Structure 1
Amino acid sequence: MYRSTVPLLIVVGGSDPVYRGYCVEQAAAAYPVALIDTKAPSLRPGLVLDYEVADTHDPQSVVAAGLALAARHPIAGVVTWDEYALVPTAELADRLGVPGNTPEAMNACRDKATSRRLFAEHQVPSAASTRVDTLVEATAAALRTGFPVVLKPASHAASIGVVRVDTVEQLPAAWEFAATGADEQGPEGSGVLVEEYLSGPEISVECVTRHGVTTALAVTRKEVAFEPYFEEVGHTLDAGDPLLPEVAPVAVRAVQALGITEGIQHVEMRLTPTGPRIIEVNSRIGGDLIGKLVGLATGLDLPRIAADVACGKVPDLTRTKHATAAIKIVYPPASGTLTARHLPIAPGPVRPWLHQVTWLRDCGERVVLPPAGDLDTSRIGWFVVTADTPSAARQRLAALTDALTLTVGSSPGDHRA
């Protein structure tokens, strides 16, 4: 087995080449990387110097794997971009004596009921929330809160099991949807939350924290679809977004309320009529290539910044770009079998603004829209573009969407989707 004399950065989970490969690549450009994941790495050869296979959602398994790596190499730091690996990563960092958040702080992020309690204690604007275990309890909580309400699993991610409920008659079906999601959630929380619905545009604030000092770096404006569900179908990030000075203090207070002291934070909020209010704080780089959008729009290398903080170094927060970057996630027009998928436009020198066209589904594969479908079955691909302004970025995404041919044929059972 290869042994290094240079301290390695351990990356826990999050090595999926489609959604997180860029994170590993950018971190590996600065540090030799060792990986702890559920299987051997499938990334570019040479990118990972060593690895251990472990259950990345289990602290004991991750700590054992990390100690095995530490027996072969000096370790500089530990990082993850996997929501479900936050607590195990914190446990490993503590065991190895490298910079990191406490397991208590990561549990507070993962368990949304604890997050809401801490937000209330620190007077961070958020949403009224009640944890429940049964439909009867959910009905009582919804009536106290007032419709509309949101039902969500206490410790899941990616909007799994999250649904808006407008009337008491909708509660039984909504409860079944949320409770099914809760059956698969992480162990940090339990049950379902019944929460006040926050109206208004949804955004996230991308932050970095070192030694307890948080800096808000950028604002991501989100496109949410498939009501009453909360499927994120697009993101736009402008380096000069005028919202940043307004929402940054709220994001910083939310991070501090949870006891986060290190790393990257993806702070989700809604711009309500009463001001910005927190949805949740994810103590890692945002999904859907948001970290890549940060780099394209501002020049800030978010995975490198995360790696630097994890290794106890001062990150470079110098902006080298001032642009807009956006991603449009492609969904099928209906559930069924994908029979045609054609885009007569490709990245290249003629279109330097078109940075990425990625396909997740090929013709002949079945696609299923929400609520029956999830991220793995409903998404066909995405486009990533840059422009000088948000409106120009939206126009470019619209032009790509208009040029795209997608055809879906019916399959048995599609009426149930």
Structure 2
Amino acid sequence: MSISPVLLVVGGCTEAVYRRDCLIQTAAHHPVALLTDQEPTWQRDFIVDHEVADLRDHQAVQAAAERLSRRRPISGVLTWDEYLIVQTARLAQSLGVPGNRDWAMRRCRNKAGAQEKFDELGVPSAASIPVLTLAEARRAAVGIGYPVVLKPAAHAGSVGVVRVTGPAELPKSWRYVAEAATSQGAEGTGVLVEEYLDGPEISVECVTESGRTTAVAVAHKDLTEQPWFEEIGHTVTADDPVLDEVAPLASQALAALGVTHGVSHVEMRLTESGPKIIEVNARLAGDMIPRLVQLATGIDLVAAAADLALGHSPQLKPSRSRSAAIRIFYPPTAGNLTQCRLDPAVARSPWIDRISWQAPIGEPVAPPPHTAIHASRVGFAIVTGRSPAQTRRCLDRIEDRLVITVAPLAPGERSAA
């Protein structure tokens, strides 16, 4: 009896709320094997096999994939994890399946290296200078001109990103960012001092096949008040007029970094002088953005990522014309979560696609920025409508009827930091 080939997913999908959909949707169409750093739990219902390995260790990853391949043929490899895109590229190369080159993924992970390439090839982007010390950061900030942005060179999810308006703020901001930069992964070191780009922030969701990129949607971001850049919402609308303006720049940025394959999440700002790149993430977007794209346009980016990993051409023809949006909820203060409740009458509204609670009652929580990104989030809501304005009204109605309460921490009790 022949054994069906599997699509190997690298990473444990441990962020069950945000990546659960990816695994479920992919497993509905392809046999999936999982390469993870811990034994699967809920994932077992959606996989046919797995191997456990230290995902930071290339030799361990290769050995685990070889063990799995002796049981089942591997016809493709993918990851949805920003910190694993280099390992996944190297694994795809060794297995002889479709994928990006590992050097291209290292460029995407290391924002300093990406910026050098953008400068070399004339890709409009935020000027930035890599630094290792506060003294270097002072000189770089003077050279670029305040305000500036400090950010770790290879993190994701706005971790450790802060705006600095003048020299007096720099030492405190430096301590915050330098601490975050200690856990950013192997592909980048230190901190970037970056030009602050004024204007709306967006992401462009792109599909690249054989070096040719199609920009399929734009997600407009809602951010916390500065100096922080925590993402609190996204809105995607079919036939967004901004897409035609930014698609060429997204394609140019991906080509500059050597991305030839897969689904990418390209972040940029719409400045007075035109769109400029902030960074390129060579993997599927987080924060349920693929779900928003599917609800708004009918294009399934999760399926596209799987198809490309297997060497198939994805289906990118729009079949819907709607707007979809997500709003992420945070606790009002640090403490133990005691209540998350939405008025049942609102919860039954037909325009709600999903309400999801992330933090269990009784768990310590705290608002950003001084917590891990997912430890700070209580839940989210996804809605649909005819326009961005309608989805915003729907989200505002949910927030008006939402109750999140937090009890103060007992003396000596640890927060969610």
TM-score by length of 1: 0.95
Residue-by-residue CA offset, 1:225-262 (whole Å, 9 max, x unaligned)? 04211100101111121100001111010010000010
The Cα shift of 1:195 comes to 0.7
The Cα shift of 1:72 comes to 1.2
Partner of 2:367: 369
Query: RMSD over aligned Cα, in angstroms?
Result: 1.8
Partner of 2:65: 66
Given that 1:8 and 1:31 are in contact with CA atoms closer than 8 Å, whether structure 2 keeps it comes out as yes
Partner of 2:78: 79
Given that 1:201 and 1:270 are in contact with CA atoms closer than 8 Å, whether structure 2 keeps it comes out as yes
Q: Matched residues in 2 for 1:307 and 1:363: separation?
A: 35
Given that 2:150 and 2:163 are in contact with CA atoms closer than 8 Å, whether structure 1 keeps it comes out as yes
The Cα shift of 1:155 comes to 0.7
- In structure 2, the gaps of 5 or more residues are none
Partner of 1:392: 390
Partner of 1:214: 213
Given that 2:295 and 2:324 are in contact with CA atoms closer than 8 Å, whether structure 1 keeps it comes out as yes
Partner of 1:186: 185
The Cα shift of 1:42 comes to 2.3
Partner of 1:148: 147
Percent of matched pairs sharing the same residue: 51
The Cα shift of 1:4 comes to 6.2
Partner of 2:98: 99
Given that 1:300 and 1:318 are in contact with CA atoms closer than 8 Å, whether structure 2 keeps it comes out as yes
- State the AA in 2 paired with 1:133: L
- In structure 1, the gaps of 5 or more residues are none
The Cα shift of 1:66 comes to 1.4
- State the AA in 1 paired with 2:5: P
Given that 2:93 and 2:101 are in contact with CA atoms closer than 8 Å, whether structure 1 keeps it comes out as yes
Given the alignment, which residue of 380, 383, 391 partners 1:382? 380
Residue-by-residue CA offset, 1:100-137 (whole Å, 9 max, x unaligned)? 00000000000000110111112111011111110001
Name which of structure 1's ranges 27-36 and 354-363 shifts more when overlaid on structure 2.
354-363
Aligned to 2:305, the other structure's residue is in SS state: helix
| Residue 298 of structure 2 corresponds to residue 316 of structure 1 | no
Given that 1:368 and 1:378 are in contact with CA atoms closer than 8 Å, whether structure 2 keeps it comes out as yes
| Residue 3 of structure 2 corresponds to residue 5 of structure 1 | yes
Name which of structure 1's ranges 42-51 and 298-307 shifts more when overlaid on structure 2.
42-51
Name which of structure 1's ranges 372-381 and 299-308 shifts more when overlaid on structure 2.
372-381
Given the alignment, which residue of 346, 356, 359 partners 1:358? 356
Partner of 2:201: 202
Name which of structure 1's ranges 85-94 and 58-67 shifts more when overlaid on structure 2.
58-67
- State the AA in 2 paired with 1:71: R
Partner of 1:116: 115
Q: Matched residues in 2 for 1:280 and 1:181: separation?
A: 18
- State the AA in 2 paired with 1:398: D
Aligned to 1:126, the other structure's residue is in SS state: coil
Count of residue pairs brought into register by the alignment? 414
Aligned to 1:375, the other structure's residue is in SS state: coil
Given that 2:346 and 2:401 are in contact with CA atoms closer than 8 Å, whether structure 1 keeps it comes out as no
Matches within 5 A, 1:160-179: 160-179=159-178
Q: Matched residues in 2 for 1:118 and 1:352: separation?
A: 47
Given that 1:21 and 1:43 are in contact with CA atoms closer than 8 Å, whether structure 2 keeps it comes out as no
Aligned to 1:300, the other structure's residue is in SS state: coil
Q: Matched residues in 1 for 2:324 and 2:346: separation?
A: 15
Partner of 2:233: 234
Q: Matched residues in 2 for 1:413 and 1:272: separation?
A: 46
Partner of 1:56: 55
Aligned to 1:216, the other structure's residue is in SS state: strand
Residue-by-residue CA offset, 1:188-221 (whole Å, 9 max, x unaligned)? 0111111111111110000000100000000000
Aligned to 1:378, the other structure's residue is in SS state: coil
Given that 1:63 and 1:88 are in contact with CA atoms closer than 8 Å, whether structure 2 keeps it comes out as no
Partner of 1:307: 306
Q: Matched residues in 1 for 2:64 and 2:229: separation?
A: 36
- State the AA in 2 paired with 1:316: Q
Given that 2:204 and 2:215 are in contact with CA atoms closer than 8 Å, whether structure 1 keeps it comes out as yes
Aligned to 1:183, the other structure's residue is in SS state: helix
Given that 2:230 and 2:369 are in contact with CA atoms closer than 8 Å, whether structure 1 keeps it comes out as no
- Change in Cα spacing, 1:345 to 1:34, as seen in structure 2 (3 Å) is same
Q: Matched residues in 1 for 2:97 and 2:22: separation?
A: 20
Q: Matched residues in 1 for 2:145 and 2:385: separation?
A: 42
Name which of structure 1's ranges 30-39 and 104-113 shifts more when overlaid on structure 2.
30-39
TM-score by length of 2: 0.95
Aligned to 1:278, the other structure's residue is in SS state: strand
Given that 1:297 and 1:325 are in contact with CA atoms closer than 8 Å, whether structure 2 keeps it comes out as yes
